[in-house]
A = this chain, B = another copy of it.
Amino acid sequence: MTNDELLVATAVNFWNSALSRADKLFLNASEKELEHPVAPGKNRLIYLWGHLTAVNDSMISLMGLGQRLHPEFDEVFVTAPDRTAVKEIPADEVRKAWTEINAKLNAEFANMKPADWLHKHTAVSDADFAKEPLRNRLAILLSRTGHLGYHMGQAIFAGK
């Protein structure tokens, strides 16, 4: 591998390690465990899972990899705080979407060359990107992996 391929592979490895830890926690949680808040009065585990699913889904469009798969998650798990959404999305649908979205992202990542990671993301203008070239797809991957870890630090408290 070339140096830039190794740098990208290290970053994708960081993402996959974080996803594996999340898989282990969420996919093994029972329906009852998913209803536990992470601390008294805080988000339930199911809300965090749905929230992380919505954020991963939004990476598809933000990275310019096509249309996101489940925009309907946003109003339940991003816009609305936990326990306030007018409708619910059950755990088996969250589970299915989480798996589907992460598979889509990883299929796209497998086809990306190092230079592809340096393309601007879709929330930055051409003019701004010319001045701020670090607002690229790799920055999205890293910040979203960081965000996943942030909520995993909370999720680990659920029911304990």
Q: What's the number of copies of this chain in the assembled complex?
A: 2
Q: Give the Cβ gap from A41 to chain B, nearest Cβ, in Å.
A: 9
Q: Which of B14, B117, B138, B157 contacts A146 (CB 8 A)?
A: B14
* Residue A133 lies at the interface, judged by CB distance under 8 Å to chain B: yes
Q: Which of B138, B150, B152 contacts A10 (CB 8 A)?
A: B138
* Residue A40 lies at the interface, judged by CB distance under 8 Å to chain B: yes
Contacts of A145 in B (CB 8 A): 142, 146
Partner-contacting stretch, out of A1-9, A60-68, A76-84, A94-102: A1-9
* Residue A17 lies at the interface, judged by CB distance under 8 Å to chain B: yes
1/0 contact string of A149-160 vs chain B (CB within 8 Å): 111111001000
**Are A117's CB and B7's CB within 8 A?**
yes
Contacts of A38 in B (CB 8 A): 39
Contacts of A157 in B (CB 8 A): 39, 42, 154
Contacts of A3 in B (CB 8 A): 4, 114-115, 118
- In the bound complex, how far is the Cα of B134 from the Cα of A17, in angstroms? 12
